[in-house]
Chain A
Amino acid sequence: DAGVIQSPRHEVTEMGQEVTLRCKPISGHNSLFWYRQTMMRGLELLIYFNNNVPIDDSGMPEDRFSAKMPNASFSTLKIQPSEPRDSAVYFCASSLDLMSYEQYFGPGTRLTVT
């Protein structure tokens, strides 16, 4: 069974450019989470969805960040415009539902903004 799939694995872009990160959750999982990991702040929850509906986006750092989940098998995290301080590894994770204690992470997208 395939795990959580993320693309691209690496992204290098210049400041001011738009960046789109993609995620395909595990089939049958109804909850999806976006995290950001940096050395300074560790793993931070940005936003999560349940049944394709955003439930809590309080972790999204600024209006430059947006996330969508148009269907059960696809989600995007967009940064527009990107800034050097957005450089981090972005993880997507999915779980059966919000009552499930267990979530499964994708391999992450390493974003570098120069």
Chain B
Amino acid sequence: TQLLEQSPQFLSIQEGENLTVYCNSSSVFSSLQWYRQEPGEGPVLLVTVVTGGEVKKLKRLTFQFGDARKDSSLHITAAQPGDTGLYLCAGYNFNKFYFGSGTKLNVKP
């Protein structure tokens, strides 16, 4: 089993604060994705990182893939209430996606 552990599990912050979510594994992945899921909906793909050490930015979100391709982080700058949701990381290997347990983020106005 290729497990992905996410931390923290829950995060409640004020609008305007910064935060970082982590995704760690003992397995090496070909690529890693980050998704955001809102209540009553399916996960929506935010980004895919492929190369060890890769950094991608999506407006206020910064994604990094670890050098060894075992871990990843998601950093949000100046969080807004619209960022509220469940953030899932997913590692890809051998045609399968392995999902982390998720980080539930609540951004209070």
Contacts and interface: CB of A to CB of B under 8 A. Distances in A.
Interface of A: 4, 33, 42-45, 48, 50, 55-56, 91, 93, 98, 101-108
Contacts of B41: 107-108
Interface of B: 30-31, 33, 35, 40-45, 48, 50, 88, 92, 95-102
B-side binding surface: helix, strand, loop or mixed? strand
A98 B95 contact: yes
Interface centre among A48, A50, A101, A105 (most CB of B within 10 A): A101
A101 B42 contact: no
A56 B30 CA distance: 19
A103 B96 contact: no
A22 to B, nearest CB: 15
A110 to B, nearest CB: 8
Given A42-B101, A101-B33, A93 B42 contact: yes
A91 B43 CA distance: 9
Contacts of B101: 42
A50 B98 CA distance: 18
B3 to A, nearest CB: 11
A94 to B, nearest CB: 11
A102 B92 CA distance: 9
Nearest to B44: A105
B2 to A, nearest CB: 11
A45 B96 contact: yes
Given A43-B99, A48-B96, A101 B44 contact: no
Contact of B102 (A42, A45, A50): A42
